[in-house]
Amino acid sequence: MTGKKNSVDDKIKIIRTAATTALAGNLLLALLKITTGFLSGSKALVADGVDSSADVLISIIALIVVRIMAKPADLQHPWGHGRAETIATALLSFTLFFMGAQLLIGAGNDLLTQDLKEAPPFYAAVVALISIGGKILLAVSQYILGKRADSAMIKANAKNMTGDILISVSVLTGLVVTYLTGFVYADSIIALLIGVWIIKTAVGVFLEANMELMDGNSDTEPYRVIIEAVGAVEGASNPHRARIRRVAGFWDIDFDIHVDPDCTVYEAHNIASQVEFRIKQRLESVFDIMIHVEPHGDNAVEPYGLSEEELNEEMKAAD
């Protein structure tokens, strides 16, 4: 269950660090923005603070997910509990979508009803500026840690943090434009556009999570590695019935190869082991590789997996 990049234990530690960092940072920002928003009368700043409160909830969920992922495989979950991260990522996409929709509806309502606002005190803009700086630091840390752990959940949260930066920028821009021009609807127009952007991000996060939940795979590199590994090992040929899926950022690979029908079980096992070793050399974060050996001439048609011809077609399409 180990690959070149991270072990499951390493991944869990990195996710825990990312979630704890996000929890602490967002809690401080939420308290600052909500308190200042109420004192200054800035609804936009209060809304931004509520958004950060949602991020606190997301971080708590991530910490819970880490505890689930750390559980060993059991009778009911023989592949472990890594799918908990994928499910949490899908739930995170719904949270992002809801936040974007709320921002879109709120901004649209302000523009349609022409609800007049008074410019809040200048210190509200200072807090918005602090929020931007804090969110940039949090977003960068989540991107770095998400990439290190190859965690879809943390990467999705990094996208969420990026959206939060834009929300805070819109609040600050609206305040500055209001101060300079007296045009009180500037923040609503900007918020409207950002709401659309956040919804688009949410849909993208959901589609990525759904691909993994459906045992799909959009990355053709593992197929290329399989073909090259089989071609490099003497005695192995015709990789087929290939099935590849992601389990919480790790590759689960299953395929068949042909060997000489007269070779011994030991020799066939050794050939398969060499193919497996070459794949693990080339491919990072491998969860498991299952290689089934068949004698040359066994051309039975199977209802699942990709044949060697289909694998080559995938490679041509990728190139």
Q: Would you say residue 85 has pLDDT above 80?
A: no
Q: What gap in Å lies between CA 21 and CA 149, rounded to an integer?
A: 15
pLDDT of the residue at 27: 92
Q: What gap in Å lies between CA 1 and CA 88, rounded to an integer?
A: 22
Q: What gap in Å lies between CA 167 and CA 45, rounded to an integer?
A: 10
DSSP strand pairing (250-259 vs 286-295): parallel
Domains of the chain: 8-213 (1.20.1510.10), 221-318 (3.30.70.1350)
Q: What is the tens place of the pLDDT at every residue in 188-228?
A: 776 677 778 778 878 887 887 787 777 777 777 888 888 88
Instruction: Please tell me whether the overall predicted TM-score, pTM, comes out greater than 0.75 for this model.
Output: no
Residues 6+ apart with CB under 8 A from 68: 81, 84
Fill in the DSSP letter of residue 306. Answer: B
What's the burial of 198, exposed, middle or buried (CB within 10 Å: 0-12/13-18/19+)? buried
pLDDT of the residue at 2: 39
Q: Sign (positive/negative) of CA torsion 154, 188, 182, 35?
A: negative
Q: What is the tens place of the pLDDT at every residue in 94-129?
A: 887 887 787 788 778 777 776 555 666 778 888 888
Give the other-Cβ count within 10 Å of 238's Cβ. 16
Q: What is the tens place of the pLDDT at every residue in 143-192?
A: 999 888 877 778 877 887 887 887 788 778 777 877 777 776 766 776 67
Q: What is the tens place of the pLDDT at every residue in 19-55?
A: 899 899 999 998 998 898 888 767 677 777 877 877 7
pLDDT confidence of 5, banded at 50, 70, 90?
very low
Q: Which residues pair with 288 in a beta bridge?
A: 252
DSSP 115-152: ---PPPPHHHHHHHHHHHHHHHHHHHHHHHHHHHHT-H
What's the burial of 261, exposed, middle or buried (CB within 10 Å: 0-12/13-18/19+)? exposed
Q: What gap in Å lies between CA 20 and CA 1, rounded to an integer?
A: 26
**Mean per-residue pLDDT for 51-72?**
79
Among the ranges given (2-11, 269-278, 279-288), the one the predictor scored with the smallest mean pLDDT: 2-11
Helix (H, G, I), strand (E, B) or coil at 246: strand
